[in-house]
């Protein structure tokens, strides 16, 4: 769940509000262990939030305003002050935590909750919900228009039928962590809302085409993928594919994963860590694409690779047609946010006292 929030006051926050936010967050944290089986949460802040300060963000923080990232998209931009991301393997944990943050539950999982609430300090601008996991898209397919009946595989973790976020195709926590400056230990976050055209995905394309466009034609030609792709293990095996430009010229189609994998650093590491999930908000099938990276520029570079503009200039592959999954998704919203280290998560200043502590995964 994503709760988009606006700070109720104009100007810089005061210490009382900071204390109230921190107390409310600690209340729900004390009720559950910090794990997928318990509750995971992050708090992030937009460029609009930091505009209230006279000081600018440090140079160590790359947090531009959101913008369109492809010539064929025209998204709306999310500018609320903050986003709280609540996640758990159990839906009732997330819903209970939300109610506690709003002051509607005095006890959570047997733990008394503080009087301090998040909604005393923030107003809720938007609420976005979703799911990811084997079988959940098929279970929720009837809640959204435009999902072909009985076409979403029963074992698929996402609406488009395949596993995603393979461990070896993700950046490490260290790779996405800000390494220096007062926000060391934090990270940046990009959130986009993508509408899915599942009718076209399942009714126009056959299994070969879906495998070729999601992964690469090599995988489709050689029956590499079984079902949703669990047989692939921790990697999408994209290194087995031909170079993208070669595939485009010879096959007239390139894969989404094949293109995106080109965005790597000098150590051959991916640039982003994905935490995206499907949704039926508004009774439409969509994907909340949430990515963590050290700099927003890292996400922009990854999206540029996914666009495949260079491929279209050298082959018959179209701007969107046969160009990965671009013709099946439409970007509706984009937003950029800073996830501060834990010590600064409650209404941080733009220029906090230098964080001299060693960067650890626990800090973000």
DSSP letters for 100-151: HHTT--SEETTEEPPS--GGGTEEEEEEE--B-STTHHHHHGGGSBT--TTT
Average pLDDT over residues 186-201: 98
33-42, 66-75, 141-150, 194-203: segment of lowest average pLDDT: 141-150
Q: What is the pLDDT of residue 364?
A: 40
Q: What is the pLDDT of residue 167?
A: 87
> Is there a contact between 351 and 58 (Cβ–Cβ < 8 Å)?
yes
Q: What is the pLDDT of residue 149?
A: 83
Neighbours of 245 (CB within 10 A): 16
- Per-residue pLDDT for 357 more than 90? no
Query: Which is nearest to 2 in space by CA: 127, 134, 146?
Result: 127
Domain ranges of the chain: 1-46+81-129, 59-80+131-363
**143, two tokens:** 């809640």
Cα separations in angstroms, 321 against 227, 247, 261: 24, 15, 19
Average pLDDT over residues 47-57: 98
Average pLDDT over residues 289-306: 98
Report the percentage of the chain scoring pLDDT > 70. 97
Widest pairwise Cα distance in the chain: 64
Q: pLDDT digit string (tens) for 260-295?
A: 999 999 999 999 999 999 999 999 999 999 999 999
Q: What is the pLDDT of residue 353?
A: 85
Average pLDDT over residues 354-359: 55
- Buried-exposed string 107-125: b where 16+ CB fall within 10 A, e elsewhere: ebbeeebbebbbeebbebe
Spatial neighbors of 344 by CB under 8 A, at least 6 apart, are 182, 183, 186, 352, 355
Matching residue, tokens 């210490």: 15
Average pLDDT over residues 309-330: 96
* Residues found in the chain: 364
Phi, psi of 267 (to 5 degrees): -95, 15
pLDDT, averaged across the chain: 95
Q: What is the pLDDT of residue 355?
A: 57
- Per-residue pLDDT for 363 more than 60? no
- Per-residue pLDDT for 195 more than 90? yes
Q: pLDDT digit string (tens) for 175-185?
A: 999 999 999 99
Q: What is the pLDDT of residue 135?
A: 96
Q: How many CA atoms lie within 13 Å of 187's alpha carbon, on the beta-carbon side?
A: 27
Spatial neighbors of 120 by CB under 8 A, at least 6 apart, are 8, 20, 103
In the chain, DSSP finds a helix count (H) and a strand count (E) of 12, 12
Q: pLDDT digit string (tens) for 84-106?
A: 999 999 999 999 999 999 999 99
pLDDT band at 11 (very low <50, low <70, confident <90, very high): very high
Spatial neighbors of 106 by CB under 8 A, at least 6 apart, are 112, 113
- Per-residue pLDDT for 237 more than 60? yes
Q: Are strands 2-7 and 122-128 parallel, antiparallel or unpaired?
A: antiparallel
> Is there a contact between 147 and 26 (Cβ–Cβ < 8 Å)?
no
Q: pLDDT digit string (tens) for 323-332?
A: 999 999 999 9
pLDDT band at 165 (very low <50, low <70, confident <90, very high): confident
> Is there a contact between 290 and 274 (Cβ–Cβ < 8 Å)?
yes
The pTM (predicted TM-score) of the whole model is 0.94
- Per-residue pLDDT for 360 more than 60? no
- Per-residue pLDDT for 70 more than 50? yes
Long-range CB pairs of 222-225 (<8 Å, 24+ gap) are: 225/162
Average pLDDT over residues 183-208: 97
């Amino acid at each position: 769940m994503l709760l988009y929030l606006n700070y109720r006051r104009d100007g810089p926050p005061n210490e009382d509000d900071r204390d109230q936010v921190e107390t409310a967050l600690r209340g729900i944290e004390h009720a559950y262990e910090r794990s997928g089986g318990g509750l995971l949460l992050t708090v992030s802040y937009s460029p609009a939030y930091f505009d209230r300060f006279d000081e600018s963000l440090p140079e160590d923080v790359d947090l531009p305003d959101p913008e369109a990232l492809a010539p064929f998209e025209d998204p709306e931009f999310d500018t609320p002050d903050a986003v709280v991301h609540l996640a758990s393997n159990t839906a009732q944990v997330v819903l209970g935590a939300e109610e506690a943050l709003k002051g509607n539950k005095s006890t959570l999982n047997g733990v008394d909750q503080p009087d301090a609430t998040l909604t005393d300090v923030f107003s809720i601008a938007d609420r976005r919900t979703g799911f990811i996991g084997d079988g959940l898209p098929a279970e929720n397919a009837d809640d959204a228009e435009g999902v072909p009946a009985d076409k979403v595989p029963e074992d698929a973790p996402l609406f488009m039928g395949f596993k995603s976020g393979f461990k070896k195709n993700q950046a490490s926590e260290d790779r996405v962590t800000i390494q220096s400056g007062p926000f060391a230990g934090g990270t940046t976050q990009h959130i986009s809302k993508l509408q899915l055209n599942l009718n076209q995905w399942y009714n126009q394309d056959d299994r070969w085409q879906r495998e070729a466009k999601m992964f690469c034609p090599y995988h489709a030609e050689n029956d590499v993928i079984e079902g949703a792709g669990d047989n692939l293990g921790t990697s999408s095996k994209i290194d087995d594919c031909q170079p993208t430009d070669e595939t485009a010229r010879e096959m007239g189609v390139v894969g989404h994963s094949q293109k995106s994998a080109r965005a790597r650093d000098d150590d051959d590491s991916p640039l982003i860590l994905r935490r995206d999930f499907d949704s039926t908000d508004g009774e439409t099938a969509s994907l909340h694409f949430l990515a963590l990276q050290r700099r927003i520029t890292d996400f922009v570079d990854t999206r540029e690779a996914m666009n495949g503009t260079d491929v279209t200039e050298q082959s018959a592959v179209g701007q969107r047609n046969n160009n990965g999954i671009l013709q099946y998704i439409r970007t509706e919203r984009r937003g950029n946010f800073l996830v501060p280290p834990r010590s600064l998560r409650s209404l941080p200043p733009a220029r906090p006292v230098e964080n001299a502590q060693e960067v650890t995964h626990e800090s973000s």
